[in-house]
Amino acid sequence: MSSLTTTADGFLLRGEPFRIISGAMHYFRIHPGQWADRLRKARLMGLNTVETYVPWNLHQPTPGTLDLDGLLDLPRYLRLAREEGLNVLLRPGPYICAEWDGGGLPGWLTSDRDIRLRSSDPRFTDAIDGYFDLLLPALAPFMATAGGPVIAVQVENEYGAYGKDAAYLKHLEQGLRERGVEELLFTCDQADPAHLEAGSIPGVLATGTFGGRIEQSLERLRAHQERGPLMCTEFWIGWFDHWGEPHHVRGADDAAASLETLLASGASVNIYMFHGGTNFAFTNGANHDHAYNPVVTSYDYDAPLAESGDPGPKYHAFREVIARHAPVPHEPLPAPAPKLPPTTVTLDRRTPLLERVGELGVPVHSPEPLTMEAMGLRAGFVLYRTTLPAAGDGVLHFAHGVGDRAQVFVDGAPAGVLEHEHHQESLTVRVPRAGARLDVLVENMGGVNYGPRIGDDKGLRGPVSFDGVVLREWDGYPLALNDLAPLAQAPHDAAQAGPAFHHGTFHVGTPADTFLALPGWTKGQAWINGFNLGRYWSRGPQRTLYVPASVLRAGTNELVLLELDATVTSRALLTDTPDLGVEKS
């Protein structure tokens, strides 16, 4: 029997009146060494619950597997929540949106163009069943009925904005129940009558997602569901950023006033986000309305707890609001965490990518270029290589474009860049000789996470021609870049142009949070001690990458940058202040 039940207008937790005051905090966006700290700060702000999505694409990188290690050790995260005295709202997908790569749907599934995603198509539901068969038994000890912290589980996510397949939603509901989930089930949809109608399941609690127009949104939710608690499962108090846009913020006073209205109405709430965290490595998502638009590395979200875990203006403003409606702990409030003293890092070793690509990826030969998905690559880069048949000026044409950014080289010399974002498919190049080597380095900038374009191909999406002649016989080097150890044995070249790994070391006394600033660098990826911090790009708005203290060690540390374009410096800076860009309120 569920520990959390509903009344005509509220919740009961183990038979006692209960209001959910929750905050979203995704374990997979926080270094595991900092989970306990972030959970403690959630409780100190007055939250009695935390919410998290579960990213299917990371937990099941290939069919029949389940990864619960390191950043994905969800059982450990749930144990820490229980130890902190926090309840958990669990949102296992299968689709999570979350500005996350592919909305959490695995590439091995979405690459099958015959499957109807998020539908009762048996090929899709069979894949979900296989995943749930592995995931849910691992989480069973953490359900409230077993003494764990999980008091409610979501069925799908804002489905009403996507489809209208009641059989699919029913399959998910039954799948959770058949695998032992006895906790309260809920759906969430934008506070729009059509969305609520399409995304709801009879007998399952319907909740809303909204950031403003509180009274109107609650009225719509009540009109849709005459009985039961009112709950905003995503109370949007900030927003995310795309590359090339201003940094989004929302004033603390404005957000706190909306929270006051929400709580004064008697509703329950999940603050989205309480702590946003970081899209480490290659995990950011993208939107695609009129054009492809990838999300930045930081998921700070202008949240009460900043990307680095420091309390901001919303933390204190929200705590004051919560205290008017529920008990808050009488304990000292958290202070900003210590920061590493400003440090300059000299990157004095260089490993060119084009000449060393064979040490990082095993080539796949094919008559025509394969997509990333066809090579089994979820994220990262592919270097495509072939030869050009004739000398002279000509037009390279990429049928169906590139996914998502392609750098073109002829005999190692840069020839141009094509971007999916700008709908570019052709490039004029000068070929010095017949048989010249053509290299095309394609970067996956993040899978679309919302709407009908989830699962769009990455890499080269069709044939490539030079002045109308189709180029054949390609070698494709899939570059997941999960392990940079082979670079340690590679020789270093300080002169050659083109994409390259730049290496440097720096000393740390006592590890502490810091921020990597890269003035003079253009675009690439950064690692410290082998941990992939994520993507940097001079396009902005984001100007620094967050470096968790847990990534550093006392003594010598290594910084590696994969600079794709060009740099005018050999130095990087570790600073004590983040820079997420010029703000847009």
User: Would you name the residues annotated as active-site residues?
Assistant: 158, 234
| Burial state string for 64-92 with b = 16 or more CB within 10 A and e = fewer than 16 | eebeeeebbbbebbbbbbbebebbbbbbb
Cα separation, 501 vs 91, whole angstroms: 38
Question: How distant, in Å, are the alpha carbons of 66, 183, 257, 370 from that of 205?
Answer: 29, 12, 26, 45
Neighbour tally for 453: CB within 10 Å: 14
Let me know: does 376 contact 370? Beta carbons within 8 Å: no
Neighbour tally for 330: CB within 10 Å: 5
Q: Burial-class residue 222 by CB neighbours within 10 Å (0-12, 13-18, 19+).
A: middle
Place of tokens 């989830």: 454
Cα separation, 72 vs 114, whole angstroms: 30
3-state secondary structure of 202: coil
- DSSP letters along 45-73, please? HT-SEEEEE--HHHH-SSTT----SGGG-
Let me know: does 123 contact 114? Beta carbons within 8 Å: yes
The DSSP 8-state label assigned to residue 43 in this structure reads: H
Let me know: does 126 contact 168? Beta carbons within 8 Å: no
Q: Extract the tokens encoding 359.
A: 């040490």
Cα separation, 278 vs 302, whole angstroms: 12
